[in-house]
């Protein structure tokens, strides 16, 4: 069983897409092992996206991610990292496959509704940024 972090970004929450995103995960036999709504500060967003601090989009990304509530989740399933990334679609929603979350709902390369970890190592680090072990249920 594998775990990954998923975030419904502030644009997804503002558009009322939380239930739809969760429905898509559950329809693909992905279990939610932990979930909570947060509102990151700019400093918290900078800490989470620290790996991108030298990139030109860092300030706009962290401004956006601290602009409103987001839903953070720990997802669990066999090959969940790949499954989640397939459900999300390409980062650039214009290149995302039909029927993916980003193709259906994103409006911008940053405002692309969801975030998902890209590797087991990243998943472990990202999960621990938002959740302690007592908050995660093994399913």
Identify the DSSP state of 3.
E
What are the angstrom distances between the C-alpha of 2 and each of 59, 84, 102, 131? 32, 11, 23, 16
Element (H, E) at 107: none
Residues with catalytic function: 115
Rg of the chain over all Cα atoms, to the nearest angstrom: 14
């Amino acid at each position: 069983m594998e775990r990954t972090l998923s975030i419904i970004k502030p644009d997804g929450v503002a558009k009322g897409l939380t239930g739809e995103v969760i429905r898509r995960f559950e329809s693909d036999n992905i279990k939610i092992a932990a979930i909570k709504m947060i509102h990151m500060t700019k400093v918290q967003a900078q800490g989470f996206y620290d790996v991108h601090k030298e990139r030109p989009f860092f300030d706009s990304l962290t401004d956006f991610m601290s602009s409103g509530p987001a839903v953070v989740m720990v997802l669990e399933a066999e090959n969940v990292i790949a499954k989640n990334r397939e459900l999300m679609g390409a980062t650039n929603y214009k290149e995302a496959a039909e029927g993916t979350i980003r193709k259906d709902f994103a409006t911008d390369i940053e405002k692309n509704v969801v975030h998902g970890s890209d590797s087991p190592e990243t998943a472990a680090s990202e999960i621990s940024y938002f959740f302690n072990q007592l908050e995660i249920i093994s399913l």
